[in-house]
Amino acid sequence: EVMQKQAEHFGARIVFDEVTEVDFASGSPFRIKTYSKEYLADGVVVTAGASPRHLGVPGEEEYIGRGVSYCGTCDGFFFRGKDVVVVGGGDSAMEESIFLTKFANKVEVIHRRDELRAGAVLQKRAFANEKISFVWDTVVEEIVGNGVVQGVKVRNVKTGETSFRKTDGVFIFIGHYPNSKFLEGKLAMDEEGYIITDELYRTSVPGVYAAGEIQDAHFRQIATSVGQGAGAGMELEKWLAARE
């Protein structure tokens, strides 16, 4: 709200709508279509972000913010002295598991395979951490609670055996996807759909810039995204001025 007020104070107009289609092919001014209107824009900064992948199991949506989290850096603090499970086996899952041991009493990593996908150094650090333990070949089938998370129902994918594990928090790190579907074929993207930008946040189309998580799968923080947005805005301003 404070950020919105500050932006409006400097002349920004904020519209709550969803972009459904863009036409970047004919150059500036670009056509931006939303559900309710079509806009013409001399320049564009795309900041549609990225979303964490959800498990899609019962209880997950219900307990988001009440024990279910997709960000250890953001929510780890609330689990001081508590037991948590981490779902996933990649770099993010290991980085966040190690981070969570600063607060949590115990971190149990539940992974659907019998080995991690994370890099060797991260694996070594995770295995060496006394607070972290591993539950292999196992998937979470349900998140259970009573107002707040109390545990997870899990199934061993090799034996089919099901069991209940008590926990205070469920941290899910099974990947992110950029919200770039509406830009497919319009801007250059990598194989995961992240928009490719250079160091000045320029995309493959002159006059179209991108900032934040839609082009940054690495940092994924408010401070870095805001900084990138400021950088992209400054570059777009220069680009517009050079055309006058």
Ligand X SMILES: Cc1cc2nc3c(=O)[nH]c(=O)nc-3n(C[C@H](O)[C@H](O)[C@H](O)COP(=O)(O)OP(=O)(O)OC[C@H]3O[C@@H](n4cnc5c(N)ncnc54)[C@H](O)[C@@H]3O)c2cc1C
Q: Which of 175, 177, 178, 184 is nearest to 214 (CA)?
A: 178
- What's the closest the beta carbon of residue 183 comes to ligand X, in angstroms? 8
How many Å separate Cα 236 from the centre of its chain?
Answer: 25
Cα distances (Å, whole numbers) of residue 12 to 7, 114, 117, 229: 5, 51, 44, 14
- Catalytic site residue from 17, 42, 74, 114: 74
Q: Rounded to an integer, what distance in angstroms lies between the CA atom of residue 156 and that of residue 49?
A: 34
Please indicate whether residue 114 is annotated as part of the active site. Answer: no
Label residue 168 exposed, middle or buried (CB < 10 Å: 0-12, 13-18, 19+).
buried
Q: Which of 80, 63, 85 is nearest to 147 (CA)?
A: 63
Residues 58-87 that bind ligand X (CB under 6 A): 70-71, 74
Please indicate whether residue 71 is annotated as part of the active site. Answer: yes
- What's the closest the beta carbon of residue 50 comes to ligand X, in angstroms? 7
Q: Is 99 in the site for ligand X (CB under 6 A)?
A: no
- 177: tokens are 């996807």
Fill in the per-residue mask, 184 to 223: x = in contact with ligand X (CB under 6 A), - = not in contact. ----------------------------xxx-----xxxx
Q: Rounded to an integer, what distance in angstroms lies between the CA atom of residue 232 and that of residue 237?
A: 9
Continuous H helices in the chain? 2-9, 72-75, 91-100, 120-128, 222-243
Please indicate whether residue 75 is annotated as part of the active site. Answer: yes
Q: Which is nearer to ligand X, 128 or 223 (CB)?
A: 223
Q: Which is nearer to ligand X, 10 or 35 (CB)?
A: 35
Which residue's beta carbon is nearest to the bound ligand X? 212
Residue count at the site for ligand X (CB under 6 A)? 19
Among positions 182, 204, 231, 233, the unique one binding ligand X when judged by CB under 6 A = 182
Active site amino acids: 71, 74-75
Residues that bind ligand X (CB under 6 A): 18-19, 47-49, 52, 70-71, 74, 179, 182, 212-214, 220-223, 225
